Amino acid sequence: MAKEMTQEEMARKIEELTAENERLAASKGQTMKSRVFELIESGFNCIEDLSEELKITSKNVSSNLTYIRSDLKEAGKTIVSQRINNKTMIAVVELNKLGW
């Protein structure tokens, strides 16, 4: 049997769904590459978290990172990644700090 929701639980669920709806509406018309980069700029630093947020595979996120890297190269930046505890952490860094 389904559990009855309290008023507080319903209000919290409505807030979550409204926020999700606003996020989806804001991303409408954007390319996946721009959505991935926007999330990285907003603080996401893990491929798996990006994958979960965008509801795409980690492989698709990695593919988009390849395109983003080529765009960032013109600005003297790149995205580096490192696997730590079964998570792939990413960071945007300046090429001159890497000695490139």
Q: Which tens digit of pLDDT belongs to each residue from 37-51?
A: 999 999 999 999 999
Full domain range(s) for residue 82: 31-97
Q: Specify the residue for token string 């590459």.
A: 33
Of the chain, the end-to-end C-alpha distance in Å amounts to 61
Does position 15 have pLDDT exceeding 60, yes or no? yes
Question: What pLDDT score was predicted for residue 27?
Answer: 63
Q: Considering the domain boundaries, does residue 13 fall inside one?
A: no
Domain count, the chain: 1
Query: What is the mean predicted confidence (pLDDT) over 23-44?
Result: 82
CB 61 within 8 A of CB 36: yes
Does position 1 have pLDDT exceeding 60, yes or no? no
Which residues, in sequence order, are bridge partners of residue 84? Answer: 87
Instruction: State CA 82 to chain mean position distance.
Output: 16
Q: Considering the domain boundaries, does residue 55 fall inside one?
A: yes
CATH code where residue 60 lies: 1.10.10.10
Higher-confidence residue: 77 or 4?
77
3-state class (DSSP) for residue 3: coil
Q: Specify the residue for token string 């209000």.
A: 11
Q: In terms of pTM, does the model score above 0.75?
A: no
What is the percent of the chain with per-residue pLDDT over 70, rounded to a whole number? 91
